[in-house]
Amino acid sequence: MRTGLPLDPRDRGGLQQPMLIARDLRKHFPVKGSGKSVQAVDGVSFTVGKGETLGIVGESGCGKSTLARLLLHLVTPDRGELVFDGDAVGAPEGIAVGALRRQVQMVFQDSYSSLNPRMPVRDSVAFGPFVQGKKKDEARHIARDMLSRVGLDPSLFGPRYPHELSGGQKQRVNIARALATGPRMVILDEPVSALDKSVEAQVLNLLRALKRQFNLTYVFISHDLNVVQYISDRVLVMYLGRVVEIGPIDAIFERPLHPYTHALLASRPSMDPAKRIDEPPITGDPPNPIDPPSGCRFHTRCPFAEAVCEAADPVLGPWEGMQSHVAACHIHDPHSRHSRFGNA
Partner 1 sequence: MGVVPVLIASLIGGMLGVVGGFAGGRTNTAIMRMMDVFYAFPSVLLAVAIAGAMGGGMANGMLALTLVFIPPMCRVAETATTQIRSLDFIEAARATGARTTTIIRYHVLGNVLGPVFIYASSLISVSILLASGLSFLGLGVRPPIPDWGLMLSTLRQSIYVVPLVCALPGVAIFITSICCNLVSDGLRAAMDVRM
Binding site for partner 1 (CB under 8 A): 69, 72, 74, 98, 101-102, 105-106, 108-110, 113-119, 124, 127-128, 131-132, 163, 174, 177-178, 181
HEC profile of 304-338: CCCHHHHHCCCCCECCCCCCCCEECCHHHCHHHCC
Smallest distance, partner 1 to C-beta of residue 33, A: 16
Closest to partner 1 by CB, 42 or 189: 189
* Closer residue to partner 1 in complex, CB, 114/261: 114
d(CA 258, CA 48): 21
Of 69, 135, 95, nearest to 10 by C-alpha is 95
Q: Residue 220: CB partners within 8 Å, gap ≥ 6?
A: 53, 54, 55, 56, 188, 191, 228, 231, 232
CA-based R_g, the chain, Å? 21
Q: Which amino acid is at 32?
A: K
CA–chain centroid gap for 170, Å, is 20
Closest separation in Å from C-beta 69 to partner 1: 8
CB atoms within 10 A of CB 271: 6
Q: Residue 106's beta-bridge partner residues?
A: 187
Q: Specify whether the CB–CB gap between 207 and 178 falls below 8 A.
A: no
Q: Strand runs (DSSP E) across the chain, as ranges?
A: 20-30, 37-48, 53-57, 79-84, 87-88, 104-107, 185-189, 217-221, 234-239, 242-248, 326-327
Q: How far is the CB of 170 from partner 1 (least distance, A)?
A: 11
Least Cβ distance, residue 130 to partner 1 (angstroms): 9
For partner 1, the closer of residues 124 and 232 by Cβ is: 124
Smallest gap from Cβ 223 to partner 1, in A, equals 18
Q: Which is nearer to partner 1, 20 or 316 (CB)?
A: 20
CB of 92 to partner 1, least distance (A): 19
Q: Supply the minimum distance, in Å, between the C-beta of residue 289 and partner 1.
A: 21
